[in-house]
Structure 1
């Protein structure tokens, strides 16, 4: 009898392990509580599936479910399920047979860890913009988006090119896409960053005032890069381009001015939980990617977020999965992140005690080869999902 019970227990454990391994995983993701997770069918994530079965669903649980959504496949919702809670609990077949198992406590919306870095500026000392708010694929004014950076590559024959974008986040670091660091031609070297640029054909950049006088920016600043920090979980060969984020440490401390200043990061709790639906964001840059042509002037375009479910319906045809660590935005014909650089910023304006400042919501990651296609949004790395990575890697 003892042997039979032991064999039954072993069989149950093996069945549970098989069930765990049999779950279809559609990519890796970060939960709203910033735990590592897997993108799986909702019904396979026990602790979140229980929330759906509770009626009525509380507001906090509804928000948790919405923020946990990471895709849509075969008519079913995909959810970002914490890896530490995916393995079904095996139950022994002896002991306490007549007693029902104690109910597990209902999960609540996890609170994000406070952001305590003193090395990164906070509003109103960041995200200051000098220009009007009329956007939609047009040329910026000279002083708009002073955090925008051009990433410099040294190519064979010591030819210098600027083929990706980035954003200044403090006086020593620029944030960009990991693919701008790790997915470049083998004979290219990422060597520097240019700040304070507007018109790539002139230096300094000047425009005529109504009185006929020249109004000029300061000359741009070229700053060598001495360290490249790519997210450790980024894979250049991955179709989904998860964790497409990197930091560039500059050799020389940056002096802030009206033409060069940092963007804010989404460090407030409401910003970290923002899903952006119905809100206007701005993507800006020089219209460059790592492979195509350039624009002479800094450009900007206003775009709106798209739900992950809608985005995945589009990208499933490309065998890609978009997760909660990414943002989908755009999909309006003729206006897209082709207006900005790969690695460049997607920003949102926020009011802070009477000040209007921009914070960095996303980093240009990828989109359709023919940009500006109707109903085909671009994909951006969600910066709020990587604050721990940023805080862990910046230093004085």
Structure 2
């Protein structure tokens, strides 16, 4: 699968720094709302090849010209949480319309390697993180750019408790339809204790104080199943930093869609900087 020829003005990859965006953002509103093309140029769409079809699987984030991070549960299979074969995965960079496959600004990339965090366990979703190494480098354009990783011990960056992060994705809307255009929502981080107390039976199993964090409003503004693996980002001094990956949501009783009256669990990427770094050389 070769990418198209006109990707929105290719720029010298070595001159592009992470976390910078060329497109002026639209004002952020809490409820999931439309984004502008190129507003979130690191957000990728991950597909699985099923026969002759591409089936949308998860979101993810481009962190270098050859590396994407997503949730481990997006790229593992039973038994024993083994990685899926890399050759059944396709990453689309610069994606905006989920079901439109003739967009010049989109780059199709095959995956060379799938690295699942060695401690990932699907019974509790902890360490829900995977690195995908692309088979060829992305060309950076105004629609395709990497996000910065949150530096583990950078005290210039604030504590995220009570801050609002931004999540983007093609998740299910309130009518349980997968949205066709990339949407975004802002949601506040809540403390571990607040999260735990809100639904102890669930969050005691799926959260860990130093590996995950919770966010959301518990009032219908949330991310849903289709958004798994997508990033939560924070802006500091005009630079966007990736801090969380959508990991797990509370399912509605008897349904495979999520219940937006509960908080969402995110993998805290800042705890895995060293593990991720080994694939960035």
Residue 68 of structure 2 corresponds to residue 139 of structure 1:
no
Q: How big is the shift at 1:226?
A: 0.8
Match of 1:249 in 2: 133
Q: Which of the residues 29, 44, 52 maps onto 1:158?
A: 52
Q: How big is the shift at 1:367?
A: 1.0
Higher Cα Rg: structure 1 or 2?
Answer: 1
How many equivalent pairs are there?
A: 252
Q: How high is the TM-score relative to the length of structure 1?
A: 0.58
RCO greater where, 1 or 2, for CA within 8 Å and sep 6 or more?
2
Q: How big is the shift at 1:123?
A: 11
Residue 123 of structure 2 corresponds to residue 229 of structure 1:
no
Distance 2:183 2:53 in 1: 25
Equivalent residue runs for 1:1-396 within 5 Å: 125-129=17-21, 130=23, 131-136=25-30, 137-155=32-50, 157-183=51-77, 190-202=88-100, 218-236=104-122, 238-239=123-124, 241-267=125-151, 269-270=153-154, 274-287=158-171, 294-318=178-202, 320-323=205-208, 324-338=210-224, 341-351=227-237, 356-370=238-252, 371=258, 373-374=260-261, 376-395=262-281
1:126-169 superposed Cα distances (whole Å, 9 cap, x missing partner): 112322242321010112100000111012x3321111010000
Distance 2:45 2:225 in 1: 14
Note the residue ranges of structure 1 that are not aligned, 5 or more in a row. Answer: 1-120, 206-217
Q: How big is the shift at 1:201?
A: 3.8
Residues 273 and 126 of structure 1: is their aligned pair in 2 closer, same or farther, counting only changes over 3 Å? Answer: closer
Q: How big is the shift at 1:272?
A: 9.3
Distance 2:44 2:163 in 1: 25
Q: CA RMSD in A?
A: 2.8
Match of 2:3 in 1: none
1:2-49 superposed Cα distances (whole Å, 9 cap, x missing partner): xxxxxxxxxxxxxxxxxxxxxxxxxxxxxxxxxxxxxxxxxxxxxxxx
Distance 1:260 1:314 in 2: 38
Distance 1:272 1:225 in 2: 35
Distance 2:14 2:272 in 1: 17
Distance 2:67 2:172 in 1: 21
Is residue 149–residue 196 contact of structure 1 (8 Å, CA) maintained in 2? yes
Residues 178 and 358 of structure 1: is their aligned pair in 2 closer, same or farther, counting only changes over 3 Å? Answer: same
Distance 2:178 2:145 in 1: 24
Distance 1:235 1:122 in 2: 37
Is residue 150–residue 269 contact of structure 2 (8 Å, CA) maintained in 1? yes
1:261-299 superposed Cα distances (whole Å, 9 cap, x missing partner): 00011126336985412211101011169xx85210000
Distance 1:160 1:245 in 2: 23
